[in-house]
Chains A and B, each alone.
Chain A
Amino acid sequence: MALSASSLKRGLSHTVDLIHDLKRTQIVQYAGASGDFNPFHTDEIYATQVSGYKTVFAHGMLVMGITGKMLTDYVGDGRLTKYGVRFTRQVWPGDGLKATATVTRLFDTNERKLADFDIVTTNQKGEIVLTGYAQAEVD
C-alpha cells in the first residue's frame, strides 16, 4: 500500500516504536548480514580495551535500517526516492528506539507526486540518535 497525497498535509507526523531492548545478538546479526564486522560493534573485549567504549554499540547503518522499516511501512514498497541521515549519538545494547517521519512538503513534478519528510529517531531517554530526511513518491 502506498500513501495518498490527499491523506497527507504539511506537519503531519507518523511515529513508530521500533526497538524496546536492543540485544547484542541483533548487532551480531547485522554484522553478519552487512559484512561490517568492525570489532567495536560485536567484540566486547576489543570495544572496551582497545577502542575505549563502555561496551559494544550498534552500527549506524543498523539504526538507519531500523528507521527505514518505519519509512517503508509508511510510504509503501519501492516508493523512496531519497533517504539520508546523520548519526548524532551512539545506540547501545538495551536501548529502545522510536522513529518519527514528519511531512515537510508535498509537490508535483511532470510525472509524479512527491512528499518530503523530516526523520528523527530517539532512544528511551528521548535523546536524538539519528536525524535525517526522506522523499517518497505518493499516489
Chain B
Amino acid sequence: MSGHKFPIEASHIKMFAHAIGDGNPMYHDADYAARSKQGAIIAPPTFLKANHHFDPESNLRPKLDQAWRGSGKYATTQVQQGAKDRLAPKPELLHAEQHFEYHRHLRVGDVLTPTTREGKTWEKLGKRSGKLIFSETITEHRDQNGQLVVTETSVGVVTEHVIEQ
C-alpha cells in the first residue's frame, strides 16, 4: 500500500461511523462540528482502515478486471473445476494486531498518501491454532502538505489450522 491518494470525505465518514454504531455528531453534522474545538468534521480513530477502497493493491475488495473469490455459482471461483469435491478448509490471513499513533486527527478535506514498509516477522505456537506466523507492516500516512498525520502498524497472522470455536 503505497503512493495512492485517500481523500477524507464527509459522506464516507458518516457511513463508516454508522457501521461502527457511532452516532457522534462530530462525524456527520457539519454545523455542530464547525462550533466544536476541532472546527470541522473529524474521522473516528479507526477510519484509516477504510483505505482499502483506494488502495489499488488491496486484495480485500473485488477488482474490475479479476474474478472475485467469493461464492456465486460455486463456493469460490477458485474451484470451478471439480466443484463437486468439498474443499479442505485452508487457513487464511487474519488480522492479529493494529496500532495507531495520531500526530493529529483526520479532517474532512485532507488527502492522505500512505508509504508502507515491511516490519518484523515471527512465529509462535498457539493452543488452538498450531503454528502461527506473524508479519508486521508499518504505514506512514502523510497529508496534502507532506505532514505526517498517522503512523500505523498492522500485524497479520497465518495459522496452521482454522480456528473454530
Tell me whether A and B are bound partners: yes
Interface, chain A (partner B; CB < 8 A):
18-19, 26, 29-30, 32-40, 43, 45-46, 49-54, 59-62, 64-66, 68-69, 71-73, 77-78, 80-87, 89-90, 92
Chain B nearest CB: distance from A78 CB in Å? Answer: 4
Contact pick for A85, options B58, B70, B98, CB 8 Å: B98
B60 contact set on A, CB distance < 8 A: 35-38
A35 contact set on B, CB distance < 8 A: 50-54, 58, 60-61
Taking the complex as formed, is B20 at the interface, i.e. its CB lies under 8 A from any CB of chain A? yes
A60 touches B19 (CB 8 A): no
Sampled A-B contacts (26; CB under 8 Å): A30-B20, A32-B15, A35-B54, A35-B61, A36-B52, A37-B62, A38-B92, A39-B68, A43-B71, A45-B71, A46-B71, A46-B76, A50-B79, A51-B89, A60-B95, A61-B95, A62-B19, A64-B46, A65-B44, A77-B24, A77-B37, A78-B26, A83-B45, A85-B98, A85-B99, A87-B96
Apart from A61-B49, A87-B98, what 6 extra A-B contacts exist at CB < 8 Å?
A: A32-B19, A39-B68, A50-B69, A65-B22, A78-B105, A80-B45
Interface, chain B (partner A; CB < 8 A):
12, 15-16, 18-22, 24, 26, 36-38, 42, 44-46, 49-54, 58, 60-62, 68-71, 75-76, 79, 86-87, 89-90, 92, 94-102, 105, 153, 162-165
B163 contact set on A, CB distance < 8 A: 90
B19 touches A34 (CB 8 A): yes
The residue in chain A whose Cβ has the minimal distance to the Cβ of B59 is A38
B interface, over-half SS? loop
CA distance A90 to B98 in the complex (A): 15
A18 contact set on B, CB distance < 8 A: 21
CA distance A61 to B100 in the complex (A): 12
B38 touches A33 (CB 8 A): no
A59 touches B46 (CB 8 A): no
The residue in chain B whose Cβ has the minimal distance to the Cβ of A62 is B20
Contact pick for A72, options B24, B69, B153, CB 8 Å: B24
